Structure 1
Amino acid sequence: MSPASPTTRTDVRRHDREIIALALPAFGALVAEPLFVMVDSAIVGHLGTPQLAGLGVAAALLQTGVNIFVFLAYATTAAVARRLGADDLPAALRQGMDGIWLALLLGALVIAAVVPTAPWLIDAFGASATAAPYGTTYLRISALGIPAMLIVLAATGVLRGLQDTRTPLYVAVGGFGANAALNALLVYGAGLGIAGSAWGTVIAQWGMALVYLTVVVRGARRHGASLRPDLAGIRASGRAGVPLLIRTLSLRAVLMIATAVAARLGDADIAAHQITLTLWSLLAFALDAIAIAGQAIIGRYLGASDADGARAACRRMILWGAVSGVVLGALVALVRPLFMPVFTTDGAVIDQLTPVLLVVAVTQPVAGVVFVLDGVLMGAGDGPYLAGAMLVTLAVFAPIALLVPTLGGGLTALWWTVAGLMMGTRLVTLALRTRSGRWLVTGAVRTP
């Protein structure tokens, strides 16, 4: 990073308090999200294998579709935090409402696309003839909750931008509890089967969306911010999200390529790969929580035209990311013998997992810094650079990963390309940008 004035011990303590206050609730909310699918799976699993298989395919489609639009949270966080830093709370809330209106519009378009094509989508993802009807039923009903899920993403971004990660935690926990109760009631009590599970989840999602809307709308009215849709503001929110959409799609492409290569290596390899991805996702939640704190804090400093404060916060968060990576890596290495039997007792799979988990452990410090730098640049609104950097990473990763089977490499070699090469390339591109200082664009609105 560019040189800056020395940071006092008081500043360090203040940054640490801010990071902890934002990151801990953010981590709780992130962990609560995948529990929705886990509850659905646990309840539907008792209906039968075809029902569970159908749910698995439909849930994968839904998660992929919603994750594509995660830019609604990221872009909104950065924009709202800038306005907050500039001491213009009405404009911050107006910016947030633009993101929510965009979410509602995108959600309606997704419903229009998914409902009529649900049978084709389920079939395209390889559902069996017995599982396909259940998957179609679940997908068609659950699609009605997509606008709510996207509203939740955008509203979460609003609250994060306002430096509030506690409310999303409370809403996530409440939504998880409601989803579990409704699923049990509708699946078994009302006898609706897999349709009951879908309706329970949809009702819980809309309940969460209504809570978020109540909080944001109440704040907007209190500070005189307009609630009406503003086409210019919605278009601006969409433009800000496009680069982050490209970044997200490129990252998804990396994971899809890795899974496709693992599938070519053999059954034990793909099984071990899926278990590793599960752990990788859990570790990502912990590191992403720090990145979320980075988005909110950096956006606020830049909005307040405090470039030195943004630099100091960035340096401190890099240290947090690196230390968190070291701690998580050490935990992975230590608990490997306990972790593997939870998922499998197959000796062949365990043989594959043992070295792969060591790769994950060793590379966690790199991942920790990458997540933080990603969050810093998102908070700065540096989306175009993030999109370009991720496309470069994909271009470096893809040909080498695809050559792994040809060159006689196994799953360990593949994971060196994922956790080593891919994350290493991201580290280089993000560190170069951060060090250049070109991301330090101050003001209430980022201009090129």
Structure 2
Amino acid sequence: MKLKSVVLNLMVVGAISILPLSNTIIAEGKEKEDKVRYVTPIDEDEFWDRMEIQKRIPDLIEYLEKKFDDNYAGLYVDQEHGGIIHIGFHSIPQKDELNKVRDILGEDVEVEYDEVKYSKEDLDKVVEELSVNIDRFEKNVASISSSFKDQSVIVGYTEDESEAKDSIEKGLNKKSIRKMTIDESLIKFEQTEKIEPKIDRAQIKVRPVPGAAQMNYSGSGFCTNGFSAKDSNSSTYFLVSAGHCADNTGQQVLQSYNKDNLIGTVHKKIFYWGSSVDVSLVKVKSDLTTHNILTTSGNNYDEAGYQIIGEQINDWEGMGVCTSLGQSDTQMCGFVQGTNESVYALGSHLKNQKKVSLKVVNGDSGSPVGVPDSKNTKKLYLYGIVSAARSNESVTYLTYIGNIKAETGIKVITGK
């Protein structure tokens, strides 16, 4: 996906940098790669071994919820210390009650049991209540997130900690939160970089248009296609990307600078204060849709490098994910760092976002993120699309596929 181009000038629109390009765009190489390569956050073989173990965790969660009910508080995977699975209980059960855990995970998997005060549900409730109280003109608070691992709610601020504490104090005084037994140590404050949506330049021409190929929202900038979808009646078809990429409905969307590059128009944009999604639906003809995701290796690309075969609904801190990034021109893997983040970016507040350890650049917004079936297949379960990121850090925020479907009513186009 490397392009040769001439940058004419740099335009700054608000906090978004847009690089207009000349009409001469040359895609280098069209040879297909048989093997998809990812940049992994740890040793490659070790990463894929952990991904195999990860497949057993949804069954584990189902068992724990059914067997221990409210005593089960949640779990996370400590990827920094070898991939240890930590299971939290309000009161740790007797050893013989936990034999089934070993049966599900296997004897080779290290498990630790933690006695915790707050469940994941408790922490998420605090995040939700605090988030809705933040003033829409607030610029100092960048994010509010839960961490089951740390048993805390983390408030990220950009400049003034005292101002951030004042904003949060208002939320703590709400009746719904006062009913909960909360220690003062639950809320932690951390200075962080400002969070920005990502928009930049266009890409090669690919038909049909796979995930990870870039699209030009005429007049506003360039983002990456996440995946293809259709409405509940299978009568209208869409390419799905980030909502902040679009200006309004009816806006034309192009794909590449070659001839006949108009692919559709914006059918719906969802990016508003308090929304759980940052998404735009580009209405296209059915023959432009596909379950494929584009991947690259050097100057070569494969428009069917990965195939979406389903959706990743369960998630937890430490879950492994991978992506093919449109503008970054690479495949990359990382871990989920937070499953419930309230993010404040570009004058908007997005709730229920997913935080992952991926580094993205301008133009990667909308890129698909999912869980590969294994190292040796091209199958992937879609988890979400890139929405925003912290500048110069390996911290990216995703809009979750479950929320996208709930808000829009669309169905993901999948393969087998």
The alignment's TM-score, normalised by the length of structure 1, stands at 0.24
Greater strand share, 1 or 2? 2
The alignment's TM-score, normalised by the length of structure 2, stands at 0.26
